[in-house]
Amino acid sequence: MSDFQAACTSTAVCSQPRFGCKVCSGPTKFYHFGMQLCRGCASFFQRCVKGGKKYECKNDNYQCNVGNEVIVKCKGCRFAKCVHVWSKLNIQTNATTPKTYNFALYENGMTSVAYQLVKAFENYHDFQLNTVQKHLSINNLTTDKYLLPTKMDLFCMGYASRNAMYKIFTDCISCMKFPNKAVWTQFTNSSQYESMIIQQGFLTSMIFPDMDDTRIIFIPGYFFHVFETTEDWWFEDEADEKERSKYREYIYQFNRRYMQFMRNYKQTRPSALDVGVLMLLIFLRHYENLGPVTKEYDAYKDRVLTEWAQSLQTRYAERANEKLIEFMLICNEAAKLKTVVEEIDAYINLMRAHGAKLTKWTNSMPVDYYEQ
C-alpha cells in the first residue's frame, strides 16, 4: 500500500482520547478540519465559511461566554474563537498533534494530499491540451495559441476530457467508493458542471485577467468570446427566427451570469492548489449527497482542509480567513450558476419537445467512463 493510500485509510484518528474543544471546552474525541474543535463548533464554523457570513459580537466586546454549558451562544464571539483556532494551525511543527493523525508531510517528506491535488490538476490540464492537439492535428499547440472551435467541437472536446477529469481526481481518493454504474453516473452528472467551470475560471483568469475581457477559456487551446460570437455559431442553421428569439433570450441570460461569475473569480487570484482543493470539495459534497460516508473518508477530508488552511496561512497571513471565505463563495456561485444552466436546459428541452430544431447546448455527451 502506498503512503498516500495508507494516509487515506488510516483509522488511528478515531482512537484518540477525549480532549477539550478550543472554542467551547466541550469534550470531543476527534479533530475536525484539522482543528481541536468539537463537532458542533466545527460545523458552525463550516457553515459560516461556506455561507460567507461574518457575525458581530452582540455586546461589541467579544468577551461573551461561549462555553459548552451556554445554550444560546453569541455567534460573533464563537466565530471569532473559531477563526483564532484556525489561524494558529501549524501542521508541520505542532508537536502536540498526534503523529498518527498524519497531517504533516509523509515520513519520506516527498508528498502530501495537497501535492497530489496539484498533480491531479496539472494532469487534467495536460490531458485536455493533448486531446485538442490530436483532434486538430496541429503541431506544437500550446496554451499561447487559442482557437475558436465549432460549437459541437467545443462540447465534444469538453466532455471527452470530463471523463479523464473524474478518473484523475477520484484516483487520488481511495476512500471514495461507487457500488454500481448508476451511482457513478449520478455522481458525475450532479458534479460535472460546477467542477468544470471552476477550472475554466482558473484558466480564464490566468490568460485573460482583464475584468472587461469577455473571452473564456473552455479548455486549453479553445476559447469562446461570450458577447461577440455570431448567431451562426450558436444556431448553425438549425432554428427559424421565432425559435432563435427565445433561444437567444435564454443564452444571453446565461452569458450575463457567467461573465459576472468570471469577474468575481478573477478577483480571487487562486493558485493551482486552491483550484484543486475547490474542485475536490465539489466532488466531495456531491459524493456525500449519495449517502453515509466512512470515518476514513472524514479523515481524508479533514487532512485536505488542514493542509489547505496551512497553505493559506503561509501565503496570506492575517488575510487567510478572508481568502478562505472568498474561495468558498466562488464554490457557492458555481452551484448557483449550475441552477441557472438547469433552468435554461429545461426551457430549451420544452422548446425541442414542441418541434424546435435546437442542438443541446449542455449535458449532450454521455458518461462512458466507469470503473467498478
Angle value at C-alpha 151, between 150 and 152, nearest 5 degrees: 95
Euclidean distance between CA atoms 114 and 24, whole angstroms:
30
Q: Pick 344 or 87 by higher pLDDT.
A: 344
The burial class, CB within 10 Å (0-12 / 13-18 / 19+), for 254 is middle
pLDDT score of 40: 87
Given a cut of 70, is residue 358 above it in pLDDT?
no
Given a cut of 70, is residue 296 above it in pLDDT?
yes
Does residue 41 sit in the same domain as residue 175?
no
Does residue 282 sit in the same domain as residue 178?
yes
Does residue 49 sit in the same domain as residue 124?
no
Q: Pick 294 or 94 by higher pLDDT.
A: 294
Does residue 337 sit in the same domain as residue 235?
yes
Classify residue 14: in a domain, yes or no.
Answer: no
pLDDT score of 258: 87
- Band of pLDDT at residue 8, cut at 50, 70 and 90: very low
pLDDT digits (tens, 9 = 90+) for 191-218: 888 988 898 888 888 888 888 888 888 7
Find the helix or strand (DSSP H, E) in which 219 lies: strand 215-219
Does residue 314 sit in the same domain as residue 261?
yes
Query: Could you tell me the CATH number of the domain that includes residue 239?
Result: 1.10.565.10
Q: What is the mean pLDDT of residues 26-31?
A: 76
Query: Does the predicted TM-score (pTM) go above 0.75?
Result: no
pLDDT score of 168: 81
Does residue 194 sit in the same domain as residue 56?
no
Does residue 82 sit in the same domain as residue 119?
no
Given a cut of 60, is residue 352 above it in pLDDT?
yes
The three cell numbers locating residue 110: 516527498
Given a cut of 60, is residue 101 above it in pLDDT?
no
358 residue type, one letter: L
Residue 155 CB contacts under 8 Å (≥ 6 apart), including other chains: 361, 362, 364, 365
Given a cut of 70, is residue 41 above it in pLDDT?
yes
Residues above pLDDT 90, as percent of the chain:
4
Does residue 230 sit in the same domain as residue 340?
yes
- Band of pLDDT at residue 265, cut at 50, 70 and 90: very high
Range of the domain at 130: 113-354
The three cell numbers locating residue 80: 471569532
Classify residue 279: in a domain, yes or no.
Answer: yes
pLDDT score of 235: 62
Euclidean distance between CA atoms 165 and 279, whole angstroms:
10
Does residue 244 sit in the same domain as residue 293?
yes
C-alpha dist (Å) from residue 196 to 106, 120, 159, 337? 30, 14, 10, 12
Question: What is the tally of structural domains in the chain?
Answer: 2
The answer to whether 236 touches 151, Cβ cutoff 8 Å, is yes
21 φ, ψ to 5°?
A: -65, 135
pLDDT digits (tens, 9 = 90+) for 107-137: 333 346 777 787 788 888 777 777 777 666 5
